[in-house]
Structures are given as structure tokens and as C-alpha cells.
């Protein structure tokens, strides 16, 4: 990727492209516009590197492209029902940028802002942004710091912390990289083999807002407790898959500790042998199967002119549960004045012969279940 294609000002702040790498060739390129991961190089079983993250070649393409692609999402990831919530008895109203709901921090959440960036060394870059009190309707001034590091064991390690400086608020963060372990331009991801460490998920309504139920995955097409291909049941006759147009659901992770770093998911691409593990401190994980990638120009035209069609990527987004601000039974996203929030997401890459899925089927043909 050419750094010169990203070096200009947006909203009066300098934008740039930062590349971090380890000594084995694993690398990531990140722009401070939205703290977006635009490229990740990872080896296959023969040691050959490929770019496994969807992204764009220029800043102009980033601004015309999928807004969430590669972004670090805040101040509030995922959906808030009715674009509003009550905190300590006071109502707050947000931008309704997803039907009647608020999505990913509002009309100009972190995916649209320029972070301050500092390259710490060859393997790490730090990005920071301060959400102002009242920005996008949220209360409280909240400085956010995001540290991206490529580790020697082949991981993209993302650490983040935020503090509510002056008043209570709510926060929810995630990484929204669009992945394809066969290569960003390799077509659909339906043959990827996924396992998620979760016995329950959050059913949604027609607006993709959780109903409040924590439903068992057993007996549903959302069961990835054992390795299965993404495409085996993605078009099954199931009300939840119909609402999401595929997988767009939040899993309740089986956690042993309240905030320790634990394995959330493992996904493998059989042809290349690439395996990606997702480790996190967060309580939940959103699975998105790229249902709204449509090959539209210029939005879905990426690096090297690659056309990103339907289901040509997946996202595994660790975070708190969607709409937690309106669902008291969910883990709280409230941050008191002076309180810190610290989180970590690790995408670790290896390359080996993956475990065969119980259920094959790449085409996504209808299941008889």
C-alpha cells in the first residue's frame, strides 16, 4: 500500500497510513481515519503471505467505501434501540442512522473521525481520540486510546482504554475488520470453518435489536460449538437468519473470568491452511457474514480493483451486548465519572491443516433442519 495515497488533511487534521510488522512478515497497515485496519498480511501453510483483510488503496476510496470496514468502533458499538436511552434518570437522544436506531456511535462515530496517531516502533502504533461531552448526543468527555501491535507469535493485538472524565456515560468498543483468510479478493467465505465458544446467542427482532432473551444455540443454525462451515446452514429456513439476511448475531461467550483474555472463536480456511483465533476480554461476540457487501461501485471496490461481493468477508467483533443501555439484564456499559474501561482483542494467525467440519457444504444450500 502506498502511504502517499493517504497523506492529507480531513476536518483540519492530518491523515496518514501506518504499517506495523513482526520479523516473520506478518504486517498490518492502518490509517488514523477511523483507526481503520486496511491490510493484514498472514502466511499460509507454505509460508506464502496474502492480504486477508478487506480494505481500500486510497483515502478517497476509504471515504467512499463501507464506513465500518476495518474501523475501531466507538463510543458505542452496535445498535441502540430507538436511538435513545436513560442514564441516572435523564433521557439522551442520539442520531437515528440505522432506521429508527442508532448504530456504531451515530452519524459521526469514531469510524468517521481522525485519530491522533503515533508510531511507537516497527511493530506498534498508538491512536487516540477524545469524545466530547454531548458529541453525537452522548454525555461525558471520554478520551480513548487504541494500541495496535503485531506480535512475534503472529497476532494483531489491539488494546484499548477509555475514561469518563467529568460525568457518567456509556461506552462499548469493538474492532470491525472484514476478514477473508483465503485473501481479500478471493470471493465468498462460505467454506471457512468456524467454531465459537458460546452456548447462547441473542435473538433479534425485525430491526436487529436483541429481544432480551439469551437463547441456546443447540438445535439452531447458529450453533458453532463444533467446527462448521459458514455456508452449511446460512440459508436455512430459520427466522433469525431471515431477519439478519444471514449471520448478523451476537453470541454470549462462555467465559471463565469477568475480564480476562479468553478464546472466543477459531476460524480456518481449508485451502490455505490459515487459522485465525479471536481472543478477547469482552463478554460477547458479533458474527457478521458480509451479507450487505453487494459489489456496488464505488462502495464495494477495494484494493487492486477487487470487487467485494455478497458474503466475501466475515466479521468477528468482540464487544458488550447490543442495546445494553436499554436492557438492564445485560452486562452494564455504564462508566462512572473518573472510571476507566480497559479491553483487549487479539486476532492470532497460524497456518496448518484445519479440523474438518462436521457438516460440509460450501454453497449454502438449504438445510432440512
The distance from CA 165 to its chain's CA centroid, rounded to whole angstroms, is 26
| Cell numbers describing residue 257 | 473470568
Find out whether 73 and 102 touch, Cβ atoms under 8 Å: no
| Cell numbers describing residue 258 | 469477568
Tell me how far apart the alpha carbons of residues 346 and 39 are, in angstroms, rounded to a whole number: 16
DSSP state of 307: B
How many helices and strands, by DSSP H and E, does the chain display? 2, 28
- What are the Cα distances from residue 236, in Å, to 56, 101, 291, 365? 33, 27, 15, 7
Choose the catalytic residue: 135, 136, 282, 317. Answer: 317
| Cell numbers describing residue 108 | 459521526
**Residue 317: active-site member:** yes
Tell me how far apart the alpha carbons of residues 347 and 176 are, in angstroms, rounded to a whole number: 12
Grid look-up 447490543 returns 322
Find out whether 227 and 195 touch, Cβ atoms under 8 Å: yes
- What are the Cα distances from residue 319, in Å, to 41, 114, 299, 366? 24, 22, 26, 31
Choose the catalytic residue: 176, 184, 192, 250. Answer: 176
Tell me how far apart the alpha carbons of residues 38 and 17 are, in angstroms, rounded to a whole number: 9
Continuous H helices in the chain: 59-64, 239-244
Catalytic residues: 176, 317
Amino acid at each position: 500500500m502506498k502511504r502517499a495515497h493517504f497523506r492529507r488533511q480531513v476536518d483540519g487534521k492530518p491523515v496518514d497510513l501506518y504499517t506495523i510488522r513482526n520479523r516473520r512478515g506478518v504486517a498490518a497497515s492502518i490509517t488514523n481515519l477511523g483507526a481503520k485496519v486496511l491490510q493484514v498480511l498472514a502466511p499460509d501453510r507454505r509460508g506464502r503471505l496474502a492480504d486477508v483483510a478487506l480494505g481500500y488503496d486510497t483515502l478517497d476510496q476509504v471515504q467512499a467505501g463501507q464506513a465500518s470496514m476495518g474501523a475501531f468502533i466507538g463510543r458505542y458499538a452496535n445498535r441502540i434501540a430507538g436511538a435513545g436511552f436513560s442514564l441516572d434518570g435523564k433521557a439522551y437522544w442520539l442520531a437515528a442512522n440505522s432506521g429508527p436506531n442508532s448504530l456504531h456511535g451515530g452519524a459521526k462515530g469514531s469510524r468517521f473521525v481522525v485519530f491522533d496517531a503515533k508510531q511507537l516502533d516497527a511493530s506498534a502504533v498508538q491512536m487516540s481520540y477524545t469524545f466530547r461531552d454531548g458529541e453525537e448526543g452522548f454525555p461525558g468527555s471520554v478520551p480513548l486510546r487504541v494500541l495496535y501491535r503485531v506480535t512475534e507469535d503472529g497476532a494483531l493485538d489491539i488494546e484499548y482504554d477509555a475514561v469518563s472524565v467529568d460525568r457518567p456515560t456509556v461506552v462499548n468498543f469493538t474492532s470491525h475488520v472484514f476478514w477473508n483468510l483465503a485473501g481479500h479478493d478471493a470471493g465468498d467465505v462460505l467454506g471457512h470453518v468456524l467454531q465459537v465458544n458460546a452456548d447462547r446467542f441473542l435473538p433479534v427482532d425485525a430491526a436487529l435489536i436483541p429481544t432480551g432473551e439469551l437463547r441456546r444455540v443447540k438445535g439452531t443454525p447458529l450453533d458453532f460449538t463444533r467446527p462448521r462451515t459458514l455456508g452449511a446452514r446460512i440459508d436455512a429456513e430459520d427466522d433469525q437468519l431471515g431477519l439478519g439476511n444471514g449471520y448478523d448475531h451476537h453470541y454470549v461467550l462462555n467465559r471463565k473470568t469477568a475480564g480476562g483474555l479468553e478464546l472466543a472463536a477459531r476460524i480456518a480456511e481449508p485451502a490455505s491452511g490459515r487459522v485465525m483465533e479471536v481472543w478477547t476480554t469482552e463478554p460477547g461476540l458479533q458474527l457478521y457474514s458480509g451479507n450487505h457487501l453487494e459489489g456496488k461501485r464505488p462502495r464495494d471496490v477495494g484494493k487492486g480493483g477487487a470487487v467485494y461481493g455478497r458474503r466475501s468477508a466475515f466479521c468477528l467483533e468482540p464487544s458488550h451486548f447490543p442495546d445494553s443501555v436499554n436492557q438492564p439484564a445485560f452486562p452494564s456499559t455504564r462508566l462512572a465519572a473518573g472510571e476507566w474501561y480497559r479491553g483487549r482483542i487479539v486476532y492470532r494467525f497460524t497456518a496448518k491443516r484445519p479440523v474438518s467440519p462436521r457438516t460440509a457444504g460450501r454453497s449454502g444450500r438449504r438445510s432440512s433442519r
